[in-house]
A and B are shown apart, each in its own frame.
Chain A
Amino acid sequence: MSEFFEILLFQRALIATVIIGFVNGYTSAFVLLHRSPLKLTALSHSLLPGVALAAFFVGLGVLSAFFGALIAAVMIGILTVLLSRVTKISDDTVLAVLYTGAFALGIIVLQELGSNQDLENWLLGNILGLSDLDLWMSFGVGLVAVILLSLFRRAIVLNLYDPEVAASLGIPTRLLDYLSFAILILVLVTTLQAVGCILAIGLIVTPAAIVRPFVSTPETLFPLSGLVGAGGAALGFFLSFRVSLPAGASIAATLASLFILSVILRSLFRLRLPRVT
């Protein structure tokens, strides 16, 4: 009987891994083209106090976690701009100070709220602890994110390539930036529970970096990054069972290893496109 539940648990975790891996991989193409992985690292850390305070005031659910995370991210963003202007200190420095402060606040609130195990789950994730509802939420949110990124890909790519030309062609660039920001937060929030807010960065950055040396257009970068994200996450998940490792860490380490492998492959086979002379 316990074996049956273990298989059920394993299946659910595997499905979640593949869904989260694909959605993060697909989104990683945007992150790579946007050149924002470091800012995203700050964003993911600053989500933690938002999620913690939402849990404290209204109880924990994907919706409350999303709005808590959104408010925290927006507040950190606005404070960064304001303090940078007032102090004349670069916004990168202010952001680094604020996100570590916010992250620390999140840890303190979570510690006050419950056990150390909860804290560890938010920091490092617990993919085996996902409920059916979590799985459905991940699927729904992931579907929305992938559909939005696909529907508006033409405008998003143009905006990333040259925002001024995009605006001159009538693309509402500011609105598109807000939409992209909301998609990133959605994806991050649904990933937090699975692999935690630290390792989530590996999932939302690495797949596109693995694929980038082998593609020449955004049209191939997005879906291939999604597939590599799903495949790499699934491989990491299997390895975690084989060698008894924490699943989140195993997934992030597998993706990082695949990135190193892709760099070696590119160097060995000189897969870069020929230069024009």
Chain B
Amino acid sequence: MNHAHHQLDLTNVSFHYGNKEALRAISFSVHCGQRLALLGPNGAGKSTLIRLLAGLLPPQTGSLLWRERPVNQARREIAYLPQVDRHQRHFPIRVRDVVAMGRFPHLGHLRRFRPIDRAKTAEAIETMNLGSIADHQIDQLSGGQQQRTYIARALAQEAHVLLLDEPFNGLDVESRCHLSESLFDLTQSGHLIIASHHQLENVTQIFTHALVLDHTQIAFGQAPEVMMDENVKATLHSCHPHDHERVL
């Protein structure tokens, strides 16, 4: 699939929690085939931006358009992947059932699971190489395998945009490599990847673009150029030392 002309446009987006400003005047455009890293210190507004794009927060000012429509009207095409440890523990559910959850926007509440839903679920499991563990309980999987399961759910959803919250957190080196490859493959097949990210040393290897936030927009552009920007270096390296310890 080639969706390179499918574009996400944010214009002058601001967001407040009560009196507290979380984001101010964020504007950028990305399209399918790109991998965008959201960078910034803790509390800089990365999660707020992801939640706005996922439709979990109501937009206040500015516009968030996906293919020229408000993102709230394009839920089927935008998949949200929270951190792997956010789901309820010891929940009796298999990998294939978690992947099948992605079919909800196509089925709604009452429609029965159809052959097309079964086929899309199986295809997503196959693409993410989960066939051998499809009947395992989700809690029995490693962090990397759970991350692949959630990407498979997004594929079953037939989403064009994947929003990932700190996807590399808690993964071992091997799982990080596999996830990087998966993200690369996804953009090759026409998806747009947007992920909040903390590991500054590998931004240019994993992502094509970067957006640096500190409530306001510090920089946006191709990842190598953004990472060389002096303002960006000042912002990212002013993070609390504890953040770096956790990240690196």
Binding site for B on A (CB under 8 A): 33, 35, 151-152, 154-155, 157-158, 160-162, 164-165, 167-171, 212, 215-219, 221, 273-276
Instruction: Name the residue of chain A whose CB is nearest to the CB of B163.
Output: A168
Is B122 located at the chain interface by the 8 A CB criterion? Answer: no
Any chain A CB within 8 A of the CB of B54?
yes
Starting from the known contacts A154-B104, A160-B91, 4 additional A-B residue pairs (CB-CB under 8 Å) come to: A151-B110, A155-B109, A162-B82, A276-B141
CB-defined A-B contacts under 8 Å, sample of 13: A160-B91, A164-B86, A167-B56, A168-B78, A168-B80, A169-B101, A169-B102, A170-B55, A217-B94, A219-B97, A275-B140, A276-B141, A276-B142
In B97-127, the 8 Å CB interface with A consists of: 97-98, 101-102, 104-105, 107, 109-110
Q: Which B residues are CB-close (under 8 A) to A160?
A: 88, 91
Cα separation A169 to B105 with both chains bound (whole Å)? 6
Residue among B79, B92, B101 with max Cβ neighbours from chain A (10 Å): B92
B34 at the interface (CB under 8 A from A): no
- Whether A170 touches B141, Cβ cut-off 8 Å, given contacts A158-B101, A162-B88, is no
Q: Which 7 A-B pairs have the closest CB atoms?
A: A168-B80, A168-B54, A162-B87, A170-B75, A169-B104, A276-B140, A275-B140
Q: With an 8 A cutoff between CB atoms, is B145 at the interface?
A: yes
Residue ID in chain B nearest A172 by CB atoms = B109
Distance A178 CA – B109 CA, assembled complex (angstroms): 16
B101 near A276 with CB under 8 A, answer no
Q: Which applies to chain A's interface (DSSP): helix, strand, loop or mixed?
A: helix
B56 contact set on A, CB distance < 8 A: 164, 167-168
B44 within 8 A of A: no
A158 CB, min distance to chain B CBs, angstroms: 5
If the complex has contacts A164-B56, A273-B140, A276-B145, are A169 and B75 also in contact, measured as CB distance less than 8 A? yes
